[in-house]
């Protein structure tokens, strides 16, 4: 293969042109059409700039100006994996499924790499993602190679399952765009614990398409913990049917730039969506949580609580849109985002957005921004606790409050560990 010289969007489009006959599923007309359409959308829009409303506070310039190559060809072999949180785990290296590192045997449902099961993915792949609206989804559709394909039949309680993504540093910038399809049949249940680690100059651009059928419950815990050289741009599309629940908790702590974008649609009565998280950034880092919640049915509830901690010269963004359609009477919506600024050079941009067309709804939102409370700090210090330790206690308290809403013990423990690790690293750096 010839070396890519074009940068940014042009580089990715050139890559698509060169690779399209070799990408997984290249002989399937439906998939070729999907990819080709996505390429048209991506060519038309390129990477979003800050002139685009949804990207006003997050500058993708560093991504658009870089040149990313392919991940290296998969090599079998041992790799340092993060400690397991569950007996079943699906491991992806540079976005490619690694059966040799995964433990998915004996499961009473489909849990495979998407690339090897593309035939069955046709009804789901592209059903929710909107490449015409979100250029990153277009990029992902154009170039994805693999991803997690989970399909839980009606009534299956799958317990815990882990999704591990590792990016291995090949010594040059590279990009990968996994596409994860997750489908829960009626009444099915799953707790998915996701860990993303990785190093090197890489762009990790996953897209999730998640379907939660009637009465099903998906708990999705995410720990985005790549190193501070990594760009992590993830887009989740979720649809939740009557009586179903999608519960997302995301810890974003590590990458140079993190965008955690979630689009959720509540399509049937009494569906629920919880989107919570904690995002942290240290000097030179940028974290962005952007949610769009669509109440498209009556009697649904949504809850969002996000906490942001910013140290050094860093920037945090929270954008949360709640759309309550006219049909969505008796909607119960709540959104809260709180930011703790540990430095005078840190900046948080917070944009709640409520769009309500139904008249009988309960919808509230709030935002707080502040430094560490001086009274609390003084109180701790009068007890002999040194200032740095007192600060750490208050930051941990702020973050732990967010995790308290997580009911699954294993997941809560894992999330708490991710928060504490971040803070420990800050202490080590300071």
Give the footprint of other proteins on this chain (CB under 8 A).
Answer: 374-376, 378-387, 389-390, 393-394, 396-398, 400-401
| Site of tokens 């509830």 | 301
Min separation Cβ 349 and other proteins, Å? 25
Residue 338 CB, shortest distance to other proteins, in Å, is 12
The least distance separating other proteins from the CB of residue 376, rounded to whole angstroms, comes to 5
Closer residue to other proteins in complex, CB, 78/374: 374
Whether residue 365 contacts residue 352, with contact meaning beta carbons closer than 8 Å, is answered with yes
CB of 418 to other proteins, least distance (A): 17
Least distance (Å) from other proteins to the CB of residue 374?
6
Q: 17 vs 387, which CB is nearer to other proteins? A: 387
State which residue, 26 or 397, has the beta carbon closest to other proteins: 397
Nearer to other proteins, 154 or 401 (CB): 401
Report the DSSP beta bridge partners of residue 165.
Answer: 92, 196
- Residue 189's SS3 state is strand
Distance in angstroms (rounded) separating the CA atoms of residues 148 and 194 = 11
Q: How far is the CB of 392 from other proteins (least distance, A)?
A: 10
- Cα–Cα distance, 184 to 241 (Å, whole number): 10
Cα gap 16→37, rounded to integer Å: 12
With CA atoms as reference, report the closest residue to 251 among 312, 193, 190, 165.
193
CB of 260: closest distance to other proteins in angstroms?
23
Q: How far is the CB of 345 from other proteins (least distance, A)?
A: 21
Rounded Cα distance between 322 and 294, Å, is: 6
Q: Measuring CA to CA, which residue among 244, 252, 239, 360 is closest to residue 316?
A: 252
Taking the least distance from each CB to other proteins, the nearer of 87 and 397 is 397
DSSP three-state, residue 365: strand
Instruction: Give which of 111, 160, 151, 119 is closest to 24, Cα–Cα.
Output: 119
**Could you write out the DSSP letters of every residue in 3-41?**
PP---HHHHHHHHHHHHTTTSTTTT-HHHHHHHHHHHHH
Q: State the minimum distance, in angstroms, from the CB of residue 323 to other proteins.
A: 32
Query: Per-residue DSSP letters for 266-321?
Result: E-STT-EEEEEEEEEE-TT-EEEEEEEEEE-STT-EEEEEEEEEE-SS-EEEEEEE
CA–centroid distance for 176 within its chain: 15
Of 19 and 393, the one with the shorter C-beta distance to other proteins is 393
């Amino acid at each position: 293969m010839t070396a890519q010289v074009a940068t940014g969007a042009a580089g990715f489009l050139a890559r698509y042109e060169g690779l399209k006959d070799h990408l997984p599923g290249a002989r399937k007309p439906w998939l070729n059409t999907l990819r080709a359409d996505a390429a048209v959308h991506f060519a038309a829009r390129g990477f979003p700039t800050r002139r685009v409303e949804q990207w006003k506070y997050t500058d993708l310039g560093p991504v658009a100006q870089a040149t990313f190559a392919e991940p290296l060809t998969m090599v079998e072999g041992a790799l340092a994996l993060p400690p397991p949180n569950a007996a079943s785990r699906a491991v992806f290296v540079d976005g490619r499924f690694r059966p040799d590192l995964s433990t998915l045997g004996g499961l009473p449902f489909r849990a495979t790499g998407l690339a090897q099961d593309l035939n069955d993915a046709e009804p789901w792949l592209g059903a929710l993602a909107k490449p015409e609206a979100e250029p990153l989804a277009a990029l992902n559709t154009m170039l994805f190679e693999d991803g997690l394909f989970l399909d839980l039949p009606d009534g299956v309680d799958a317990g815990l399952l882990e999704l591990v993504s590792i990016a291995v540093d090949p010594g040059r910038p590279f990009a990968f765009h996994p596409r994860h399809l997750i489908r829960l049949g009626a009444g099915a249940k799953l707790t998915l614990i996701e860990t993303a680690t990785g190093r090197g100059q890489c762009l990790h651009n996953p897209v999730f398409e998640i379907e939660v059928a009637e009465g099903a419950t998906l708990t999705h815990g995410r720990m985005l913990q790549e190193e501070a050289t990594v760009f992590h741009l993830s887009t989740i599309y979720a649809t939740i049917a009557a009586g179903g629940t999608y519960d997302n908790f995301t810890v974003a702590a590590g990458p140079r730039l993190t965008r955690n974008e979630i689009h959720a649609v509540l399509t049937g009565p009494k569906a629920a969506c919880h989107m919570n998280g904690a995002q942290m950034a240290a000097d030179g880092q940028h974290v962005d949580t952007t949610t769009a919640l669509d109440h498209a049915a009556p009697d649904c509830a949504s809850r969002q609580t996000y906490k942001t901690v910013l140290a050094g010269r860093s920037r945090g963004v929270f954008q949360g849109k709640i759309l309550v359609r006219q049909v969505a009477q008796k909607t119960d919506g709540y959104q809260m985002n709180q930011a703790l600024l540990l430095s005078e050079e840190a900046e948080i941009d917070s944009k709640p957005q409520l769009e309500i067309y139904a008249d009988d709804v309960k919808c509230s939102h709030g935002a707080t921004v502040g430094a560490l409370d001086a009274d609390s700090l003084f109180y701790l210090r009068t007890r002999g606790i040194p200032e740095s330790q007192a600060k750490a206690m208050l930051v941990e308290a702020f973050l732990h409050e967010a995790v308290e809403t997580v009911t699954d013990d294993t997941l809560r423990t894992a999330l708490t560990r991710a928060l504490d690790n971040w803070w420990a690293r800050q202490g080590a750096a300071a």
